[in-house]
């Protein structure tokens, strides 16, 4: 099949509210999808269990890889703005079946990330509720509540969604920054020799830690789903993509260094302690901030749920316009100008696996890890294909220069290494089943694509015949 023709540099609104979001609100979409507060609380300890004193290095390398991908995405975003995000970019240059692969992968990635943070939400909600009341509540009920509220907000107004996400993340990240600053200040601003010299770190530990570290960044590009709604999208969105990669990378790296340092001070193991941020707050001399970080993680999980539903709905809207999903999902609410049906469908898709797993007794952190890892496969494939396609796109735009292909190929290679790291050594337990789940989902999506393409091809000659005089 031939590639789709290049898209216009102008943003089609698809029935959405054009130019309603400010640069900060657009940035909030990417930041909230990453849910940065959850990385110091949940992901960095997992990376430390593998990379040890090389945890900060794992995040430096992950930042470089994501920054390369961000540069590629930003090049597209300077020429095209659409709710389809990376799928739109892929459709400009790749064969139709590969652009469909990007579409289905990206949809899964956003929905599964939403599922992941819903699991994280009920974990932190029950931690706080148990401390306050001595009781825990139904994980299924908590999952349904946070998803229902997120669907309602995303259904009503994208501007309310963006502002709410912006303030939630600003406050929760600020609390962690205060704790980290206090830890570094009380240590006297001296470098930690064990971390600096990577004492005890192994090559395999760093490689596996790097795979997990990349998970902290997934969704950093989701501002591109607001192509119809961002103000001056051809300027605002590329900046948001680069800013989210750089700011998140700096935040995660500093947090990784400070957390390992804090646990060195108290002589504990960051990778095996259950209340990491409480320990860090005590090291910083302000124990009460540990509780505030838990609250921040809770609301950040909520913001992440809202951000993922917002992004997934807009990808699904664009897919419906291109025949990759049912036509009814391509409509928007007449008054709210939001992809209302797509919002409801993606919200249900996000909460359904969480509700089933929670009913079967899975912990919130297990759900967070399982479904977050599943989402990673979708993101890696989408990132890699878009990066590979960039040189051809630049030729179409007359912007190709000698050496232009270096960054895209480096970015694609980084994603390929990430994929290999996810698959080998073969993960144990449920993690070993995730590649097959992703592959089965992708086969089903491409099968639907082939069926729709064949149906349209069969109908097309009849339409032409009817139109003849």
> Which band of pLDDT confidence, cut at 50, 70 and 90, is reported for residue 466?
very low
Residue 462 has pLDDT above 80, yes or no: no
Cβ atoms of residues 55 and 40 within 8 Å: no
Residue 184 has pLDDT above 50, yes or no: yes
pLDDT confidence of residue 374: 94
| Chain segment 47-106, per-residue pLDDT in tens | 999 999 999 999 999 999 999 999 999 999 998 888 878 999 999 899 999 999 999 999
| Chain segment 411-435, per-residue pLDDT in tens | 999 999 999 988 888 888 899 999 9
Residue 463 burial (CB count, 10 A)? 9
- ∠ CA 331-336-342 to the nearest 5 degrees? 40
**Which of the 8 DSSP states describes residue 430?**
G
Cβ atoms of residues 373 and 386 within 8 Å: no
Q: Which residue has the tokens 């064990």?
A: 194
Cβ atoms of residues 310 and 225 within 8 Å: yes
DSSP 103-160: HHHHHHHHHHHHHHHHHHHHHHHHHHHHHHHS----HHHHHHHHHHHHHHHHHH-HHH
CA distance 270 to 195: 13
- 425 preceded by a cis bond (ω within 30 of 0): yes
| Chain segment 115-132, per-residue pLDDT in tens | 999 999 999 999 999 989
Residue 460 has pLDDT above 70, yes or no: no
Backbone angles phi, psi at 451, to 5 degrees: -65, -45
CA distance 416 to 414: 5
pLDDT confidence of residue 12: 66
pLDDT confidence of residue 276: 87
Mean pLDDT of the chain: 90
90: Cβ–Cβ under 8 A, 6 or more apart, which residues?
98, 99, 102, 103, 382, 385, 386, 389
pTM, whole model, 2 decimals? Answer: 0.92
Residue 3 has pLDDT above 80, yes or no: no
């Amino acid at each position: 099949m031939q590639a789709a023709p290049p898209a216009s540099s102008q943003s089609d609104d698809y029935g959405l509210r054009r130019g309603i979001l400010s640069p900060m609100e657009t940035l909030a979409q990417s930041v909230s999808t990453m849910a940065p507060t959850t990385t110091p609380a949940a992901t960095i300890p997992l990376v430390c269990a593998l990379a040890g004193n090389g945890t900060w290095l794992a995040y430096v390398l992950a930042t470089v890889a994501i920054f390369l991908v961000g540069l590629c995405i930003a090049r597209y975003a300077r020429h095209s703005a659409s709710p389809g995000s990376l799928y739109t970019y892929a459709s400009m240059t790749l064969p139709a079946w590969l652009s469909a692969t990007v579409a289905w992968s990206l949809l899964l990635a956003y929905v599964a990330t939403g599922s992941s943070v819903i699991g994280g939400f009920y974990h932190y909600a029950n931690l706080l509720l148990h401390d306050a009341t001595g009781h825990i509540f139904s994980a299924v009920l908590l999952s349904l509540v946070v998803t229902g509220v997120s669907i309602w907000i995303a259904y009503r107004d994208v501007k309310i969604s963006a502002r709410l996400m912006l303030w939630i993340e600003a406050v929760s990240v600020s609390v962690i920054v205060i704790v980290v600053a206090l830890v570094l200040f009380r240590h006297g601003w001296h470098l930690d020799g064990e971390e600096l010299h990577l004492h005890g770190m192994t090559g395999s530990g760093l490689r596996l830690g790097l795979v997990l570290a990349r998970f902290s960044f997934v969704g950093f590009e989701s501002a591109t789903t607001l192509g119809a709604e961002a103000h001056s999208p051809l300027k605002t969105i590329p900046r948001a993509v680069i800013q989210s990669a750089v700011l998140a990378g700096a935040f995660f790296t500093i947090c990784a260094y400070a957390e390992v340092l804090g646990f060195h001070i108290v002589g504990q193991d960051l990778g095996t302690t259950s209340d990491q941020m409480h320990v860090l707050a005590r090291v910083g001399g302000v124990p009460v901030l540990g509780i505030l970080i838990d609250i921040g993680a809770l609301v950040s999980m909520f913001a992440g749920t809202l951000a993922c539903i917002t992004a997934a709905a807009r990808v699904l809207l664009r897919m419906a316009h291109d025949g990759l999903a049912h036509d009814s999902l391509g409509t928007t609410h007449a008054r709210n100008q939001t992809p209302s049906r797509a919002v409801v469908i993606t919200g249900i898709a996000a909460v359904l696996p969480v509700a089933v797993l929670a009913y079967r007794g899975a912990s919130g952190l297990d759900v967070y890890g399982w479904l977050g890892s599943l989402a990673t496969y979708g993101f890696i494939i989408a990132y890699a294909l878009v990066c590979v396609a960039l040189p051809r796109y630049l030729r179409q735009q007359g912007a190709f220069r000698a050496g232009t292909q270096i960054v895209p190929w480096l970015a694609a290679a980084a994603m390929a290494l990430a994929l290999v790291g996810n698959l080998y050594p073969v993960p144990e337990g449920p993690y070993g089943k995730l590649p097959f789940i992703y592959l089965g989902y992708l086969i089903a999506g491409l099968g639907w694509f082939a069926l729709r393409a064949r149906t349209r091809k069969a109908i097309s000659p009849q339409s032409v015949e009817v139109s003849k005089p």
